[in-house]
């Protein structure tokens, strides 16, 4: 489901791969499962940049997350991509959003991500 590029970093590959896998689970409902999400981790003088590239209905979508902490940069990139997917799907199918809100209002649960 995802492909991680760790070439230039001196970090614990297993720990980072596990965290990336955990974060990418949030994107699973929004991406084509037959095409991996590409994750490029770049170390800069200001910290880390994480590039996520995913295949979606309209083609490839890329987002970049940055932070001094690698794990926060990964999460920031994932959150940016997730926000894009949710907004795009709301525009393409606004009735689904209304159904979800109606369901949560009836059952007293208003948590949305």
Would you tell me how many other CB atoms lie within 10 Å of the CB of residue 52?
Answer: 25
- Lateral strand order in the sheet of 2-5: 2-5, 37-44, 47-56, 59-67
Q: pLDDT tens digits, residue range 96-111? A: 778 877 877 787 665 5
pLDDT more than 90, % of the chain: 24
pLDDT of amino acid 50:
92
User: Phi and psi dihedrals of 5, rounded to 5?
Assistant: -105, 110
Region 77-85 average pLDDT:
92
pLDDT at 79: 95
1 or 44, which is more confident? 44
Domains and CATH numbers, the chain: 2-107 (3.30.160.100)
Per-residue pLDDT at 17: 85
Task: Give the global pTM.
Answer: 0.74
């Amino acid at each position: 489901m995802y492909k991680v590029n760790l070439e230039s970093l001196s970090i614990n590959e297993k720990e980072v791969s596990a965290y990336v896998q955990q974060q990418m689970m949030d994107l699973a409902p929004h991406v084509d499962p037959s095409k991996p999400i590409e994750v490029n981790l770049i170390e800069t003088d200001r910290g880390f940049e994480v590039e996520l590239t995913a295949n979606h209905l309209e083609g490839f979508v890329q987002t970049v997350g940055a932070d001094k902490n690698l794990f926060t940069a990964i999460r920031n990139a994932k959150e940016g991509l997730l926000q894009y997917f949710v907004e795009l799907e709301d525009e393409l199918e606004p009735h689904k959003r209304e159904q979800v809100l109606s369901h949560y209002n009836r059952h007293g649960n208003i948590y949305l991500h």
